Amino acid sequence: MILKDEVIILKEVDYKDYHKIIHGFSKNNGKISFIARNAKKSRNKSISPLKIFSHVDVVIYQGKGLPILNNSEIVNNFYKINNDYNKYVYACYIAELLNSIVVEEPNEKIFNMALKFFKLIEENKEISNLVTGFEFKLISMLGFRPQLKYCINCRSEECNFFSIDQGGLICSQCKNNNSYLLKINTEELNILNKILVSKFESILDMNISNKVKNLIRNYLMYHIDKHDFKSLKLLEEL
């Protein structure tokens, strides 16, 4: 069976002497892995160089075992990301994050958001806000959009806490029923709402505190139940 698709390369692993196993996020099939034969040989003219973050059109043959790449053509290799260490580390984190959560089902919204993210970090110097925006939008798209209008227990609109595990606001009267709370003020709540509804271009210029960034990351990690991202350790050192 022949499969044609668009793929964002999330990870590449050396395989035997000359081959690579490519892990990617495809537009029409979700998470996908395939063997790129002779990928480490520059004379293989039918296969474009497959580098992490690249947006690639691929033709894959599905037989027995892992699919085999027949042909590939680069749409965008985002070369500026690979030439800037800070951008590279941020992009590695997002690639590692996507590789851990996408499944073998299409999700065009997340696919398009990932492409938009890589384009914007290539074009902009200040990218920390983009990562925060991506994290919050991603976890919302995965079905964990937080309740940011009223208390998730009693619907009171006077709330001073955010519940990481229950996914939303908690008022003072209900806080004793929750084990994972972070205090939040009106300004921080407004920023959370703006991030969810704004385009990435607007998020770039927002004044997002480290407290809000940490809240969003903690919320994401809790609900995807994964914390051991290698690239995240490098990210925290920037």
CATH number at residue 138: 1.20.1440.120
> Can you give the pLDDT at residue 17?
77
Same domain for 141 and 167? yes
Same domain for 33 and 143? no
Q: Is the pLDDT of residue 179 over 80?
A: no
> Can you give the pLDDT at residue 210?
95
Same domain for 177 and 86? yes
- Residue of 126 and 114 predicted with greater confidence: 114
Same domain for 209 and 159? yes
Same domain for 222 and 124? yes
Same domain for 216 and 119? yes
What is the bridge-based pairing of β-strands 55-61 and 2-15? antiparallel
Last residue of a domain, one of 77, 112, 127: 77
How many Cα atoms within 13 Å fall on the side-chain side of residue 38? 11
* pLDDT cut 70: percent of the chain above it: 94
Q: Is the pLDDT of residue 43 over 70?
A: no
The model's pLDDT over 222-233, given as tens digits with 9 standing for 90+, comes to: 999 987 888 988
Please give the mean pLDDT across all residues of the chain.
Answer: 91
Same domain for 66 and 105? no
Q: Which domain holds residue 19?
A: 2-77
Q: Is the pLDDT of residue 48 over 80?
A: no
> Can you give the pLDDT at residue 64?
81
Same domain for 219 and 194? yes
Same domain for 167 and 59? no
Q: Is the pLDDT of residue 42 over 60?
A: no
The model's pLDDT over 192-223, given as tens digits with 9 standing for 90+, comes to: 999 999 999 999 999 999 999 999 999 999 99
Same domain for 207 and 134? yes
Whole-Å CA distances, 156 to 9, 41, 97, 161, 169: 45, 63, 35, 12, 9
> Can you give the pLDDT at residue 63?
76
What CATH number corresponds to the domain at position 29? 2.40.50.140
CB 2 within 8 A of CB 59: yes
Last residue of a domain, one of 28, 61, 77: 77
Same domain for 62 and 120? no
Q: Is the pLDDT of residue 34 over 90?
A: yes
Please identify which residue in the block is written with the tokens 């994050």: 97
Q: How many domains does the chain have?
A: 2
Last residue of a domain, one of 54, 77, 100: 77
Same domain for 109 and 53? no
Task: Using CA atoms of 214, 217, 220, 221 in order, give the dihedral in degrees to the nearest 10.
Answer: -100
Q: CA-CA distance, 67 to 65, in Å (whole number)?
A: 6
